[in-house]
Amino acid sequence: MKAIVVRQPGGVEVMNLETVPDPQPKARDVVIQVEACGVCMHDVAVRDGTLRRGVQMPNILGHEISGTVVAVGSDVKRFRAGQRVTTVQRYHICGACRFCRSGYEPLCAEKKFTGDWGMVGGYAEYVAIEDDNIAEVPDGVPLAEVAIAACAIGTIFNAVRDVGKVQVGEAVLVTGAGGGLGVHALQVANAFGAYVIAQTSSPQKVAIMKANGAHEVIVHARGEDFSPQVMAATKGLGVDVIIDNVGTPQFTPTRKSLAKLGRWLMIGQLTGDFVPFNPAQLFLRGQSMLSVTSTTRAQLEDVLKLVQRNILRPVVDKSFALDDARTAHQLVESGQVTGRALIRPWQSAASLAA
> What is the pLDDT at residue 270?
67
Would you say residue 306 lies in a domain?
no
> What is the pLDDT at residue 352?
84
Q: Which one of 237, 257, 291 terminates a domain?
A: 291
Q: Are residues 163 and 242 in the same domain?
A: yes
> What is the pLDDT at residue 354?
66
Residue count of the chain, please give it: 354
Q: Are residues 181 and 122 in the same domain?
A: no
Q: Are residues 168 and 54 in the same domain?
A: no
Task: Supply the DSSP string of 57-69, one letter for each residue.
Answer: SSEE---EEEEEE
Q: Are residues 279 and 166 in the same domain?
A: yes
> What is the pLDDT at residue 351?
81
> What is the pLDDT at residue 282?
86
Would you say residue 302 lies in a domain?
no
Which residues are 253's β-sheet partners?
none
pLDDT tens-place string over residues 71-98 = 999 999 999 999 999 999 999 999 999 9
C-alpha 351: how far from its chain's center?
26
- Per-residue pLDDT band for 280 (boundaries 50, 70, 90) equals confident
Would you say residue 147 lies in a domain?
no
pTM value is: 0.94
Q: Are residues 287 and 334 in the same domain?
A: no
> What is the pLDDT at residue 278?
86
As a whole number of angstroms, the distance between CA 147 and CA 137 comes to 10
Would you say residue 13 lies in a domain?
yes
Q: Which one of 291, 306, 340 terminates a domain?
A: 291
Which residues are 5's β-sheet partners?
16, 60
In this model, does residue 348 exceed pLDDT 80?
yes
Q: Are residues 160 and 131 in the same domain?
A: no
pLDDT tens-place string over residues 316-341 = 999 999 999 999 999 999 988 988 99
Q: Are residues 269 and 212 in the same domain?
A: yes
Q: Are residues 338 and 234 in the same domain?
A: no
Would you say residue 42 lies in a domain?
yes
> What is the pLDDT at residue 268?
77
Q: How many domains does the chain divide into?
A: 2
Q: Are residues 240 and 325 in the same domain?
A: no
Q: Which CATH number belongs to the domain containing residue 60 in this structure? A: 3.90.180.10
Would you say residue 300 lies in a domain?
no
Would you say residue 287 lies in a domain?
yes
In this model, does residue 343 exceed pLDDT 70?
yes
3-class SS string, 310-327: CCCCCCEEEEEEHHHHHH
C-alpha 292: how far from its chain's center?
11
Q: Are residues 117 and 45 in the same domain?
A: yes
More confident residue, 60 or 103: 60
Q: Which phi and psi angles does 185 have, rounded to 5°?
A: -60, -35
> What is the pLDDT at residue 160?
97
Round the average pLDDT of the chain to a whole number and report it: 95
pLDDT tens-place string over residues 218-262 = 999 988 999 999 999 999 999 999 999 988 888 999 999 999 999
Q: Are 245 and 267 in contact (CB under 8 A)?
A: yes
Q: Are residues 189 and 240 in the same domain?
A: yes
Q: Are 185 and 214 in contact (CB under 8 A)?
A: no
pLDDT tens-place string over residues 267-279 = 977 677 888 888 8
Would you say residue 303 lies in a domain?
no
Q: Are residues 173 and 133 in the same domain?
A: no
> What is the pLDDT at residue 3?
98
What does the pLDDT average to over 18-46?
97
Domain that holds residue 193: 153-291
> What is the pLDDT at residue 32?
98
> What is the pLDDT at residue 148?
97
